[in-house]
C-alpha cells in the first residue's frame, strides 16, 4: 500500500492505531514498512513529523509505552533468570497479579 496516495489524517491515524493494537506495541519503522496494508513510514513523517507530538496518537502511544515499562519491570524482578527466560511476559504478569491478590488478602 505504500504507493503515492493522498491519505486523510483520520485514515493515517486509524491505520496506525490498528497496527499498534495488532502488535500490542508502538509500531516501529520496520513494522510500518513491512505491512503492505499500511501507508509508508515516510508518509507518516511527511504528514505529521514527530509522531510523539500527534495529539490523536498520544493515548495509544502512552498506553504501549506504559505496557512496555511494566513488561520490563516484570522481567527485571523475575525470580527466574530473566536474561535466559523464554516465557511469555503475559503469563508472568498473570502470576504477578495472583501473587499481589494473595498479598492483599493477608
Measured distance CA(41)–CA(31) in Å, rounded = 9
Is pLDDT at 104 greater than 70 in this prediction?
Answer: no
- Residues 49, 54, 56, 59: what is their CA dihedral angle, to the nearest 10 degrees? 130
Residues sharing a CB contact under 8 Å with residue 19, sequence separation 6 or more, in sequence order: 27, 31, 32, 35, 38
pTM, to two decimals:
0.65
pLDDT tens, residue by residue, 7-34? 999 999 999 999 999 998 899 999 999 9
d(Cα 78, Cα 36) in Å, to the nearest integer? Answer: 37
Amino acid at each position: 500500500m505504500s504507493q503515492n496516495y493522498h491519505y486523510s489524517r483520520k485514515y493515517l491515524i486509524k491505520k496506525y492505531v490498528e497496527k499498534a493494537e495488532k502488535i500490542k506495541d508502538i509500531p516501529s519503522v520496520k513494522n510500518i514498512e513491512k505491512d503492505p496494508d499500511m501507508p509508508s513510514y515516510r508518509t507518516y513523517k511527511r504528514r505529521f513529523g514527530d509522531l510523539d507530538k500527534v495529539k490523536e496518537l498520544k493515548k495509544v502511544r502512552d498506553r504501549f509505552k506504559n505496557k512496555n515499562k511494566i513488561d520490563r519491570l516484570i522481567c527485571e524482578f523475575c525470580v527466574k533468570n530473566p536474561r535466559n527466560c523464554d516465557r511469555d511476559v503475559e503469563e508472568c504478569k498473570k502470576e504477578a497479579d495472583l501473587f499481589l491478590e494473595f498479598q492483599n488478602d493477608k
